[in-house]
Chains A and B, each alone.
Chain A
């Protein structure tokens, strides 16, 4: 694939961002490549129901 990009004027006022989330990019400028990977794990076995994990009283 061959193509030509012509960058004409780019002028922005105010940018208001609440959050740039995990593994994401906010870029003002040029780049050649961006690769954002993220894995998030909450399997059923991550819900642990157990006896008290620490002694509730040390005495």
Chain B
């Protein structure tokens, strides 16, 4: 595959989170994968052993459906101008399993599984109707 070149003068990235990728230059395949268990407590007291085994929750094991391509696709690309120019990029944050890529690649497959829990000492909805 003949790809274009990317020309970027400068990039500032402030924060890069779990399993996210900043790639400068060409690559072949990028597959970030992250599993997050978020526990929010009314009182922020944690022992560190709240979750021993993530596999007890089906969200971390269940297969994710991928788009099915049933049609035969034949693409011809003509790069009349083979350079993509970008003056500057500023990114504050890259979330879990996300990708910032300057350059060409062949395949990107990202996967993120997030489970949120809230733990209260008493019912927070008691005063509501």
Q: Tell whether A and B belong to one assembly.
A: yes
Chain A, 1-28, contact with B by CB distance < 8 Å: what is the 0/1 string?
1111111111111111111111111111
Known: A23-B96, A30-B77, A53-B119. 16 other contacts (CB 8 A): A4-B76, A12-B87, A14-B89, A16-B90, A17-B90, A18-B93, A19-B91, A23-B111, A24-B98, A26-B101, A27-B99, A31-B106, A32-B106, A48-B117, A49-B122, A54-B47
Asked if A48 meets B119 with Cβ closer than 8 Å, knowing A4-B76, A8-B80, A20-B93, the reply is yes
Any B CB within 8 A of the CB of A59: no
Residue numbers in B under 8 Å from A38 (CB-CB): 97, 110-114
Residue numbers in A under 8 Å from B85 (CB-CB): 10-12
Any A CB within 8 A of the CB of B129: no
Please classify the interface of chain B as helix (H, G, I), strand (E, B), loop, or mixed, using the class held by over half of its residues.
Answer: strand
Closest CB in chain B relative to A26 CB, distance in Å = 5
B119 and A50 contacting across the interface, CB-CB below 8 Å:
yes
Residue numbers in A under 8 Å from B107 (CB-CB): 31-34
In angstroms, Cα B65 to Cα A37, docked, is 8
Please classify the interface of chain A as helix (H, G, I), strand (E, B), loop, or mixed, using the class held by over half of its residues.
Answer: strand
Any A CB within 8 A of the CB of B54: no
Closest CB in chain B relative to A51 CB, distance in Å = 8
Of all chain A residues, the one with the shortest Cβ separation from B93 is A19
A20 and B100 contacting across the interface, CB-CB below 8 Å:
yes
In angstroms, Cα B114 to Cα A35, docked, is 18
Q: What are the 7 tightest A-B residue pairs by CB atom distance, in nearest-first order?
A: A23-B112, A29-B104, A22-B95, A38-B112, A30-B3, A11-B85, A37-B64
